[in-house]
Amino acid sequence: MNLQAIPLGLALFIVIPLACGLASLVLGGRSSAPGRLAAARAATLAGSLACLLLAAAAWLGGAVPARLELAWIPSMGSSFSLSLDGLSLPFLALSGLLGAAAVLASWKGIGERVPSFHFCLSLTLAGINGVFLASDLFLFAFMWELMLVPMFFVIDIWGHEGRHRAAVKFFIFTQAGGLLMIAAIAGLYAAHGAATGEYTFAYDRLLGTAGGLGQTLQFLLMLGFFAGFAVKLPAFGLHAWLPDAHTEAPTAGSILLAGLLLKTGGYGLLRFAIPLFPDAARAFAPVAMWIGAAGILYGGLMALGQSDMKRLVAYSSVSHLGFVLVGAYSLNEAGRNGVVIQMLSHGLSTGALFMLIGSLQDRIGTRELGRMGGLARAAPRMGAFGLALTLALLGLPGMGNFVGELLVLFGAFKAEAAVAVAAGLGLILAMAYALRMFQLAFHGEAKEKRSVADLSAIETGTLALLLAALLWIGLYPRPVLALLSLALPGIAGGTAP
Amino acid sequence: MSGQGLEAALALAAALFAIGLAGIVARRSLVFMLLCAEIMLNAAGFAFIIAGARWSQPAGQVMFIFLLVTAAAEVAVGLALILTLTGTLTDTLTGTLTGALSGRPSKGDR
Amino acid sequence: MELIWLVPAFPLAGFIVLALGRSLPGKAAGAIGSAAAGLSAASACAVAWLFASGGKAPYSTSLWPWLDLGAASPALALSVDALSIVMILVVTIVGFLIHLFSIEHMEGEEGYHRFFAYMNLFVAFMLILVLADNFLLLYLGWEGVGLCSFLLIGFWYGDRANGDAARKAFIVTRVGDVALLLGIILIAANLGSLSLSESPRLASAAWGRGSGIAVLAAALILGGALGKSAQVPLHTWLPDAMAGPSPVSALIHAATMVTAGVYLVARTNAFFSLAPQVMTAVAVAGAVTLLVAGASALAQRDLKRILAYSTMSQIGYMFLALGAAAWTGAIFHLATHALFKSLLFLAAGAIINALGHERDVLAMGGVAKKMPLLFWTFLAGAFGLTALPPVTAGLASKDAIIARLWYAGGDARLLWWAAMAGVLLTSLYTFRMLFLVFAGASRGPRASGHSAMGASTALPLVVLAALCLVGGLVDFPRVLGGEPYFGAFLGGALPASADTGATAGQELLLSLAPLLLSLAGIPLAWLLAKRELATEAGPALRARGSRLAAFVRGGFGFDRLYDFAFARPLSRLAGKGVDPVNLASEGLRSMTLRASRRLASTQKGPPGRYLAALAVGAVLLLAAALI
Amino acid sequence: MNALLAVASAVAVASTLAVILQRRAVHALLYLIVSFFALAVAMLALGAAFAAALEVIVYAGAILVLFVFVVMMLGSEDARPRGAGWIGPSLLALVLLGELLYAFLAEPGLLAPGAASLPAAVPPQTVEPKAVGIALFGEYAICGEIAAFLLLSGLVGAFHLGRRDSPARPEGGER
């Protein structure tokens, strides 16, 4: 199925969620009649499923790499150019899948102002798809902001108790990083213009400019990009916003946040920060890897002490995405593959875990591990999924996370052996906090007498789907790896074998 | 009357001016502050007179006359303000006064 | 031979059926579980028969490509050779017998389905581990086995203590697993192949003997083995693992999982022979564990903990053999140990059940009269453990190891003395346990319990006892009139151990020495048991030796050391989960708020302050103008 | 002449000090009137008879009387600031006084660069009211007009603020 043939082609990935978002607004309207609300939810669900199908069709139909170039602001040299290649396709599929999961998770969870909630979800999805597709730096910055604002509203309006503070903190952190990135984009744009006289934002033409720049300028621009992405992928030190945002966001918000928004940081590193400034990246690599390793150990240690389940999973995300930083800056093929698989499986496993925690909170009204206990006996299906996802969290071989972490460790081992050892210790911490979480919640004596209804059909189905995807990546990652080899030449894989 | 007389007069003007300033800064009641403003104004006028006398120029006294005019206008408006304030709020320098003066719509504002 | 994938497939299918079919009636779950294990055992025997008759040619089949690590591209592939045949036979036969035993033993337990599901999953993972063609698949089985031991130790998850014991087991073994994983990555990075057959060849070609890289690789592999086989220093989890049901202890913590470490070292013997320093480390670890565990077993009061420490010390023997390059001896002892130790655990389980969950040996006694079958089977197991004549299993395997140590000469003599001490300790704690449990009057308050044993419980015990008796003949030392069939069978997969060059007389003497030592142990054990019963009555005697006994019983303080060195500082460091980086960002936030509030006050303070500021400003301006 | 000036200035300073130290506004006003009379005498001593007359008639007579009229109506009095309250303002006043004296007396040329070249101190001539009148309506006629505007604005302002239903009144002025 050749995407270029269809009108708008790649832009469908952005247009569909937007259209469905508007549709859910229109369908939902002012009334709170269940029928209309269901229609609103169905519209957004259809939107994300359509994206998933489109991605799958592109994957099977071998329509990779596809391009779309529309004039946007010619005077400034920026065009609405999207490019689909091996690196962005898996993430688009993930965004479709998790988008659908988010809508299903909030089917009963979100009660008030449903249409606007789904509009915000769709807008975020459109922004995310845009980020993964944009191959024009100006468009990339635009999409980066587009995906941030609705997410702020999702947390701020539909979140839990301390939502406002968390939403503002999330916004300021990401915006500060984003501004640094935009400054770097402008710097690169100007430098390229000065050097070649041609002022353009196009990614392919900007690829070669870094060589000509002075050493310090190149390093500074690279740092600008790195800052923007390091805040998003919470690197150690810049992660203060993640636990609050996760704890206060509604279930759907958490799924999108953990599943996709964190991935845009890692994707940005692979697509922009490293290929655009190869020498600076090589110089900065050891520092970045040690930051990643610190993130792994620090995230694990913090997760060990948490009593709030969502906060614990948030810190585990800091730890897991520390691997992404280590893998990206090991600057070799294995590291890059590991990073993509780690992000895909983290998206699936953490998304599913948040869905589980969300449904758990709807049933027992709390996220405090101290007040849970003995849930496996009361809700065996939930216990089974809880166990499976905990095993994914601690990287049991046979699950996607293990393959990602193994490849990252292998890549890191060849680049910086000490970092690989430190990251390996992170695995032990991962097991400690994952098992602690599982046993406090599902095993032991039930602290409070309550009757817990087991998972409903929708929830079981979605969780089973996500788990199946995880097992598929874990046991047969070859198709995903094959896809990555189709990535554009600019990707980090090129520097060291 | 010799040069020293003029110096003494100038010293007097300065002293009165300083006392006026001290009065304004020290007192909290608006009436007193207006009063002390008058003192300072008058001291300035006296300085004009001294200058006029020194150079035997009528300009000094003309300027004094204009000064009188401003003093009159100033007292008129000042007292009117104090009248409006004392009825409702307070006529001393307090927080509520700032509120009233700051133009924020207070309770009764139409 | 192509159907080799059937062997792990049956238990895996059993797991899936049991996991999904929650609505199955109680009895059916046991039947399905045992059937799966039985079919797997049958297919294993078939494969063994085909292998043996087919000229013992190694055979491997690849299911599908997995992933590629640089040059190495490990696939999900199973491979069969003499070593893995022995292992799958041990795993499946002992596994099947234990499944049979647990049908009745676990009756009425709350998670009956769950128990058999996890047991089948365990057998499947163990078989994958043993049949793996490359390191990565072996690692998958390795972690899977750890997972099942976690699930089964914490089977009665209602009680927090069981959960903690299970978590401890999984985490301590995980420490070893991470070392193994790093070793795998090292091998993949340096040799470019993870295959268990090629990488040893590449390694011996590429790496010099005793070179840094070889030592590092062997050490990392040894780390993994130590964790899984509960050898010092990663052994503290095994005694706590007794929190699980007895069949679990029998299958996992006696017969199969704990021996995975031995299998791994045997399988990668090329790496170890490249690094002599690590070989001595293996031997020393074995010897130390041997003595520590033996002594601790002597001081235990809980029947299952005695057997746990005994397992640890027997595996110490196997590591000793590996250290002395007696590969076949170690594997043979592994096989015989699996037989008599699982027998002992099953019998112990039956005794504990019969005495109404009483575990303290001092509170037992007189069981022989009530349950003669249990007594005789337990006795067979005990004789196997202490390598006494009528039961040939332990005799053949253990004496071969001890003899090998003597021939190795040099500082290996020291290890020989340690082994001999171990033999004495073994017979001491075994017969002390025997006398306390079976002899004398029944001291236990709750002697009731259902002592009648159904066929499905008795059959496995009898079969295991018979195998113990016959087992030794498979590789009986020539000097005592036996024929080393086992050694020959394994010749293909493992390098033959160097010829000892000892005369027949010397060999005879060497195999009699441990025998005499074991026999001497029996009366000593009787005295020890008597004194212990006496001290139980008189507190004065007990006070004097109690602190030392408590120290030894606590496993030589390793637990307290690890808790102090790792567990406590880590949990203190994690604290209440307060994140300093988060505090920093919150601090930044409140600082800006305070600053803005202070600045605002310049705008809305009392007017008097502005007037003063105005006046001062004017005066200062004038002063500036004048200067 | 000098003696008259000295006496007048002493009275002026004393009464002005009394003004700022009074607790009740009315007493302060009366002292102020005394101070203005003293100043008028001082002006007379300097030969500015017309200004002295104006001071008495307009300043003391009209403005301060108006002041007294309003203050009597309000009856406002204010607690004087305690001892500590005076330190700041008096310090400030002294500093200002020092600066002014320094400016006027020590360095006459400092503020008016051209002054030094003028003839030395000349005894003050009296300036005839006629001369003042000629200057006022000759050279400064426009200023007169502007002064008129000022008075007009003052008038309108006072009238506007004083009106009963003036919007500026915070409480709607039923008084």
pLDDT tens digits, one per residue of B15-59: 999 999 988 888 878 888 888 999 999 999 999 998 888 888 888
**pLDDT band, very low/low/confident/very high, at A496 (cuts 50, 70, 90):** very low
Distance CA C516, CA C150 (A): 41
Q: Which whole number is the average pLDDT over C319-332? A: 85
Q: How far is CA C228 from CA A429, C221, C254, D155, in A?
A: 18, 11, 12, 102
Q: How far is CA C139 from CA A349, A405, C61, C221, C252, in A?
A: 21, 14, 18, 11, 17
B neighbours by CB contacts (3+ pairs under 8 Å): C, D
State which residue of chain D sits closest to B63, comparing Cα positions.
D136
Q: Which whole number is the average pLDDT over C449-470? A: 77
Q: B47: domain range?
A: 29-90
Q: Please check whether residue D147 is in contact with residue B69, taking contact to mean a CB–CB distance below 8 angstroms.
A: yes
Q: Give yes or no for residue C447 having a pLDDT over 60.
A: no
Distance CA B31, CA D25 (A): 7
The reply to whether residue A244 touches residue C582, judged by beta carbons under 8 angstroms, is yes
How far does the CA of residue C591 sit from the closest CA of chain B (Å)? 27
Q: Which of A323, A332, A428, A447 to mutate to test the interface with C (most CBs of C within 10 A)?
A: A428
The reply to whether residue A334 touches residue C70, judged by beta carbons under 8 angstroms, is yes
Residue-level length of chain A: 497
Per-position DSSP letters for C92-117, written without gaps between them: HHHHHHHHHHHHHHTTT-TTHHHHHH
Q: Which whole number is the average pLDDT over C290-312? A: 87
Q: Mind listing the pLDDT tens digit for each residue in A109-167?
A: 777 888 889 999 999 999 999 999 998 999 999 999 999 999 999 999 988 888 898 99
Residue % of chain C over a pLDDT of 70 = 92
Range with the poorest average pLDDT among A401-410, A450-459, C267-276: A450-459
Distance CA A465, CA C191 (A): 38
**pLDDT band, very low/low/confident/very high, at A289 (cuts 50, 70, 90):** very high
Q: Does C607 contact B at CB distance below 8 Å? A: yes
Q: Is B108 inside a domain boundary?
A: no
Q: Which residues of B touch C605 (CB under 8 A)?
A: 98
Q: Is B10 inside a domain boundary?
A: no
Q: Which whole number is the average pLDDT over A371-381? A: 82
> Which of D96, D102, D103 is opposite residue C619, by nearest beta carbon?
D96
> Which of A243, A301, A443 is opposite residue C573, by nearest beta carbon?
A301
If one counts the domains in chain B, the total is: 1
How far does the CA of residue B63 sit from the closest CA of chain D (Å)? 9
The reply to whether residue C577 touches residue A305, judged by beta carbons under 8 angstroms, is yes
Instruction: Please state whether at least 3 CB pairs lie below 8 Å between chains D and A.
Output: no
> Given 3.50.50.60, 3.40.50.300, 1.25.50.20, 1.20.120.1200, which CATH number is that of D1-78?
1.20.120.1200
Q: Is B67 inside a domain boundary?
A: yes
Q: Is B73 inside a domain boundary?
A: yes
More confident call, C509 vs C224: C224
Q: Please check whether residue A43 is in contact with residue A22, taking contact to mean a CB–CB distance below 8 angstroms.
A: no
> Which of D13, D45, D92 is opposite residue B25, by nearest beta carbon?
D92
State which residue of chain C sits closest to A170, comparing Cα positions.
C585
Q: Does C188 contact A at CB distance below 8 Å? A: yes
Q: Mind listing the pLDDT tens digit for each residue in A457-476?
A: 888 999 999 999 999 999 88
Q: Does A244 contact C at CB distance below 8 Å? A: yes
Q: Is B59 inside a domain boundary?
A: yes
Distance CA C73, CA A374 (A): 43
If one counts every other C-beta atom within 10 angstroms of the C-beta of residue C537, the result is: 8
**pLDDT band, very low/low/confident/very high, at A422 (cuts 50, 70, 90):** very high
Q: Mind listing the pLDDT tens digit for each residue in C466-499?
A: 888 877 777 776 666 666 777 777 776 777 766 6
Q: Which residues of D touch C615 (CB under 8 A)?
A: 92
The reply to whether residue D155 touches residue B76, judged by beta carbons under 8 angstroms, is yes
Lookup: tokens for C430: 């075994």
> Which of C615, C619, C626 is opposite residue D102, by nearest beta carbon?
C626
Question: How many beta-carbon pairs below 8 A join chains C and D?
Answer: 16
Distance CA C563, CA A156 (A): 44
Q: Which whole number is the average pLDDT over A215-221? A: 89
* Burial (CB count <10 Å: 0-12, 13-18, 19+), residue A486: middle
The reply to whether residue D95 touches residue C623, judged by beta carbons under 8 angstroms, is yes
Q: Which residues of B touch C608 (CB under 8 A)?
A: 28, 93
* Structure confidence at residue A351 (pLDDT): 93
Q: CB under 8 Å, gap of 24 or more: what pairs does C196-202 form? A: C196/C79, C196/C132, C196/C133, C196/C134, C196/C135, C196/C138, C196/C267, C196/C268, C197/C58, C197/C60, C197/C79, C197/C133, C199/C135, C200/C268, C200/C269, C200/C270, C200/C271, C201/C270
Cβ-Cβ contacts under 8 Å for A287 (sequence gap 6 or more)? none
Q: Which residues of A touch C157 (CB under 8 A)?
A: 376, 439, 442-444
Domain boundaries, chain D: 1-78, 128-166
Range with the poorest average pLDDT among B23-27, C228-232, C474-478, D86-90: C474-478
Mean pLDDT of chain C: 83
The reply to whether residue D170 touches residue B16, judged by beta carbons under 8 angstroms, is no
Q: Mind listing the pLDDT tens digit for each residue in D114-142?
A: 554 455 555 667 888 888 889 889 889 99
Q: Is B99 inside a domain boundary?
A: no
Instruction: Please state whether at least 3 CB pairs lie below 8 Å between chains C and A.
Output: yes
Question: How many beta-carbon pairs below 8 A join chains B and C?
Answer: 21
Chain-centroid distance, C-alpha C467: 23
C neighbours by CB contacts (3+ pairs under 8 Å): A, B, D
Taking only residues 40 to 99 of chain D, the set having a beta carbon closer than 8 angstroms to any beta carbon of chain C reads: 88, 92, 95-96, 99
* Structure confidence at residue B103 (pLDDT): 54
Q: Which of D24, D46, D58 to mutate to test the interface with B (most CBs of B within 10 A)?
A: D46
What does residue A461 show for φ and ψ, rounded to 5 degrees?
-60, -50
The reply to whether residue C619 touches residue D102, judged by beta carbons under 8 angstroms, is no
Q: At B43, which CATH number?
A: 1.10.287.3510
Residue among C486, C462, C461, C458 at smallest CA distance from C472: C486
Q: Give yes or no for residue D174 having a pLDDT over 60.
A: no
The amino acid occupying position A223 is L
Domain boundaries, chain A: 292-497
* Structure confidence at residue A43 (pLDDT): 87
If one counts every other C-beta atom within 10 angstroms of the C-beta of residue C491, the result is: 14
The reply to whether residue C622 touches residue D96, judged by beta carbons under 8 angstroms, is yes
How far does the CA of residue A231 sit from the closest CA of chain C (Å)? 13
Residue % of chain A over a pLDDT of 70 = 97
Q: Please check whether residue D39 is in contact with residue D55, taking contact to mean a CB–CB distance below 8 angstroms.
A: yes
Q: Please check whether residue C229 is in contact with residue C252, taking contact to mean a CB–CB distance below 8 angstroms.
A: no
The reply to whether residue C622 touches residue D102, judged by beta carbons under 8 angstroms, is no
Residue among B92, B108, B36, B20 at smallest CA distance from D74: B92
Q: Give yes or no for residue A290 having a pLDDT over 90.
A: yes
How far does the CA of residue D85 sit from the closest CA of chain C (Å)? 12
The amino acid occupying position A445 is E
Q: Which residues of C touch D99 (CB under 8 A)?
A: 619, 622-623, 626
Q: Give yes or no for residue C544 having a pLDDT over 60.
A: no
Cβ-Cβ contacts under 8 Å for D78 (sequence gap 6 or more)? B27, B28, B29, B31, B32, B92, D23, D25
Q: Mind listing the pLDDT tens digit for each residue in B49-82?
A: 988 888 888 888 999 999 999 999 999 999 888 8
